[in-house]
């Protein structure tokens, strides 16, 4: 890669077709294996996070209405009343996606039972067929007071910030689930930066490490006795020592001294 200038003088990066000196096929294989382990580690945390937040949403909204997810009055006006160019609200679009998932799962025993007996799924059953994206959109559409209750549990500044966390984590989840390269990807659905301490302030929300930090922050609430952080630390030590300087964990977004940070400390 070299840095070039266009006719306006703007700097940019240009990748050559030729391999960097010192490149070896085995390095590419080792890097792939490292990335596969990283994706699996992300999915392990995100599964627990998804399940926990599903339960939070179902418990909170279910106290107001067993079918709260279908009741527009329980959501913020921008989600339940404001229409787009097609004349539909975000809640109506959400329900279309939700009903598609219900149809696909209609032969699953517990879904079939509730549909035959009641004609619809109560929210504590409906959450079982939501995916991470549907869950994050549901959360984003909730009323401020409800979002704030869940956000406070996980140490987010407010519901808007926590909704941003979920969008960013959903992006990481999709990359991981579809077997795309994760370790140096440019994150497109960025979560807002945290100002909790100097370590958080150093992070780059375009790099994957920031989202692994969010996962660890949530995991400390959901699974405080988990060894997930230890497994992450050990995996960072497995980053392949390639024969050229083309790749490094700087592209992942690691900051200097991160292992001594309380968030990752094993003390």
pLDDT category, 13, cuts 50, 70, 90?
Answer: low
Q: How many CB atoms lie within 10 A of CB 76?
A: 20
User: Is there a domain that residue 19 lies in?
Assistant: no
The structure tokens listed for 247 are 């790749």
The pLDDT confidence band at residue 7, using thresholds 50, 70 and 90, is low
**Mean pLDDT within 222-244:** 92
**Which H/E stretch holds residue 2?**
strand 2-5
Q: Is residue 4 part of a domain?
A: no
CA distance 215 to 40: 13
> What residue numbers bound the domain in which 143 lies?
24-260
| pLDDT of 91 strictly over 70 | yes
pLDDT digits (tens, 9 = 90+) for 148-191: 999 999 999 999 999 999 999 999 999 999 999 999 999 999 99
Flag whether 1 is in a domain: no
Tell me if 116 is assigned to some domain.
yes
Q: What is residue 181's DSSP assignment?
A: -
Examine the pLDDT at 2 and tell me if it is beyond 70: no
Burial of 231 (0-12, 13-18, 19+ CB in 10 A): middle
Q: Calculate what percentage of the chain has a pLDDT beyond 70.
A: 90
* Cα within 13 Å of Cα(223), Cβ side: 17
215 in a domain, yes or no? yes
Say how many domains are in the chain: 1
Per-residue confidence band for 241, with pLDDT thresholds at 50, 70 and 90? confident
- 181 part of a folded domain: yes
Half-sphere exposure of 250 (CA within 13 A, CB side): 4
Element (H, E) at 217: helix 208-222
In a domain, 2, yes or no: no
- pLDDT value, residue 231: 98
Mean pLDDT, residues 219-245: 92
Q: Which residues contact 267 (CB under 8 A, 6 or more apart)?
A: none
- HSE of 267 in the Cβ direction (CA atoms, 13 Å)? 6
For residue 9, name the pLDDT band (cuts at 50, 70, 90).
low
Burial of 73 (0-12, 13-18, 19+ CB in 10 A): exposed
Q: What is the DSSP letter of 69?
A: G
Whether residue 6 is contained in a domain is answered as no
Partnered with residue 13 across adjacent β-strands are 3
* CA distance readout (Å), 207 to 116, 168, 211, 255: 47, 11, 8, 11
User: Would you say 105 and 129 are in contact if contact means Cβ atoms under 8 Å apart?
Assistant: yes
């Amino acid at each position: 890669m070299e840095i070039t200038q266009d006719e306006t003088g703007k700097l940019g990066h240009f990748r050559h077709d030729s391999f960097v000196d010192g490149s070896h096929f085995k390095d590419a294989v080792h890097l792939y294996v490292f990335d596969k382990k990283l994706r699996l580690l992300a999915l392990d945390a995100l599964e627990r996070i998804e399940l926990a937040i599903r339960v939070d949403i179902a418990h909170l909204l279910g106290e107001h209405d067993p079918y709260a997810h279908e009741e527009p009055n329980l959501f913020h006006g921008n989600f339940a009343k404001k229409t787009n160019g097609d004349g539909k609200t975000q809640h109506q679009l959400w329900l279309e996606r939700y009903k598609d998932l219900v149809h696909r799962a209609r032969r699953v025993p517990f879904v079939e039972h509730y549909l035959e007996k009641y004609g619809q799924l109560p929210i504590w059953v409906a959450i079982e067929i939501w995916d991470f994206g549907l869950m994050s959109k549901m959360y984003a559409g909730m009323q401020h007071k409800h979002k704030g209750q869940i956000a406070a549990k996980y140490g987010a500044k407010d519901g808007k910030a926590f909704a941003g966390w979920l969008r960013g984590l959903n992006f990481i989840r999709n990359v991981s689930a579809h077997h795309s390269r994760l370790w140096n990807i440019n994150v497109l659905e960025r979560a807002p930066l945290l100002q909790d301490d100097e370590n958080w302030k150093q992070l780059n929300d375009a790099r994957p490490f920031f989202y692994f930090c969010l996962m660890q922050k949530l995991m400390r609430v959901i699974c405080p006795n988990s060894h997930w952080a230890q497994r992450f630390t050990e995996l960072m030590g497995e980053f392949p020592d390639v024969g050229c300087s083309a790749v490094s964990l700087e592209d992942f977004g690691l900051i200097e001294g991160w292992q001594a940070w309380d968030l990752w400390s094993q003390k």
